[in-house]
Amino acid sequence: MTVIQENLESNTAQMLRDQYDKQHAAYLADPVPAYQQRKDDLLALKRMINENREEIISAICQDYGNRSRHETLFAEIISVTDGINDTIKKLKKWMKVQKRHVDGSMFAGGKNRVIPQPLGVAGIIVPWNFPVNLSFSPLAAAFAAGNRAMVKMSENSVALSHLLRNISGRYFPEEKLVFFEETGGVGIEFSKIPFDLLVFTGSGQTGRSVMASAARNLTPVVLELGGKAPAVIDPEYPLKKAVERIMFVKQFNAGQICTNVDYVFVHHTQKDEFIRLAQAYVAKHCPDINHKDYTSVIDERSYQRLLDTLEDARTKGASITNLSGEQQPNPELRKIPMHIVSDTTEDMTIRQRETFGPLLMLLTYTDPQEVIDYVNAHDRPLAFYPFSNNAQLTDRYIERIMSGGVTVNDALFHVAQHDIPFGGVGPSGMGHYHGYEGFVTFSKLRPVFYQPGFSAMKFLRPPYGGFADWVYNLLVKLKS
C-alpha cells in the first residue's frame, strides 16, 4: 500500500468516525424521540422522495445507462412511499409500552413492562439494484424506532449518491441523516464504525466481510444477501399463467433482483411447452431490448459475466434458447435478451452462482421430492415460489424447503407486503425489516420489572433456615 493510499484511507476513516461521533452525541442528548418527532421524520423522508421524484428517476437511469421509468416508479417510488404511509399509520401502536405477565407468587404486586427504545445510530450499506428502496425502506424503520442513520451508497450509484448528498440537508440535519458516496474504500471503513446496528444488502461474499468487521465492535447486523431462488410449477397449475408471471418478474430490472426467480422446475412433460409460452410472452411484451422500457445491465463487468455464463453453459452442452429470436446482446447499451438455459450440469457456472440477470435456468422433475431434495442440497435461498392450486402440495413445499420468504402462485411480491417481514436465512441473510419487524429490529425491547414496596423475597435471604427449606421444597413440588 502506498503512502497516498494510506492517507486516503486514514482520512476516510476519520471523516466517517467524526460523523458517527456527531450523531452519537445527538442521540445521547435526545435518546428517545417522541411520537411527533418520529412522524415528522417519516413525513420528511416521504417529501424528500416526492419533491425530487424526477431528479431521482433521472439519476437512477443515468447510473444504469438505461432504467425503465415505470420500473423505477413501481419499485423505488410507489413501494417506498406506500411503506412509509403504512409505518406512520401504525407507529403509535408500535411505540406503546407492552404489559407482560408477572411470574410466581413471590413477585405478587410487581409489574413487568417491555419498553421499545431506540438503539442509537444505525449504519446502512446500500446496493445499486434498488438504491432508493433499499436505503429508504430501512431508513423508515430506523426513524420509526427513533434512531439516527448513516447511509453508504454503491459505487454504481454515482449520480444518485451525489443527488442524495446534495438534497438531504434540506430535510434532515447531519446529526439525523447523512449519505456517503463510494469513492474507494469507504465501504470497508464504514463497516468498522461501532454502529448500534449495521444493515447490509448485497452479495454473500461481501456480507461475510461486513459481518467480520462488525464483529470487532460486537455490532449486530442485518444481512440481506441473495442466492439462487427457485420456482416450481405443479403440472396441474395453468402453465400459461405461471409462465407469464415468472417472465414478468424475470424481465423486471433486467433480472437484477436478489429475490428474482433464478431457476424454475417444470414437470418433464411440460418443458417444451414452457419454452414455447416464454417465447410468446417475450414476443408480446419485450419485442425489442433496445426499447427504453427494457433495463440495461448495470456495468460492463456484469454484462460480460452474463455473456460468459451463457458461453460456459453452451460449450459444456446446455441448450440455449434466445427468447428474442435473432436479437443479439447490445454491448453499447449493455442489454441482453432473455434466455432460457436448459439441460444444464453441475459443473456449469449457471448452476453454481446467482445469475442476477435475464437468464433463466430450466430444470425438469417427475416427483415433487426431487425438487425438495435438489433445493435442500444447496444454500437456503432468499425466496421460494411454488405454483400450485393444491394446498396440500403447497404446504409440503413450504414445510420441506426453507427460504427467506415465499410467494405462492407468483414471484417477488411478498417483498411488497408491508405487514410481513422481509429477510433471508442462513447463506441468504439474517434478520428482518419491513413493517413491525423493522421497528423491532431497530429497537431495543427493554424488559423492565417493577418491584413493589413489599417483597416476599426478604424471607428467603441467607442464612437459610427451615422456612426457606419449606418454601423451596414447595416450589419444587409445584413446578414439577
326 catalytically annotated: no
- Residue of 61, 224, 286, 354 marked active site: 224
- Is 124 within 8 Å of 433 (Cβ atoms)? no
71 catalytically annotated: no
SS3 341: strand
Q: State how far the Cα of 429 lies from the Cα of 134, in Å rounded to an integer.
A: 15
Sorted by sequence, the CB contacts under 8 Å of residue 121 that are 6+ apart come out as 20, 23, 24, 27, 147, 148, 149, 150, 195, 196
Range list of H helices, 256-400? 271-285, 300-315, 349-352, 368-376, 391-400
For 443-453, letters b (16+ CB in 10 Å) and e give beeeeeeeeee
Question: Which long-range contacts link 80-83 to residues 24+ away (Cβ below 8 Å)?
Answer: 80/49, 80/132, 80/133, 80/136, 80/137, 80/140, 81/46, 81/49, 81/50, 82/418, 83/137, 83/140, 83/418, 83/434
- Residue of 61, 258, 286, 354 marked active site: 258
Q: State how far the Cα of 443 lies from the Cα of 148, in Å rounded to an integer.
A: 12
Catalytic positions are 224, 258
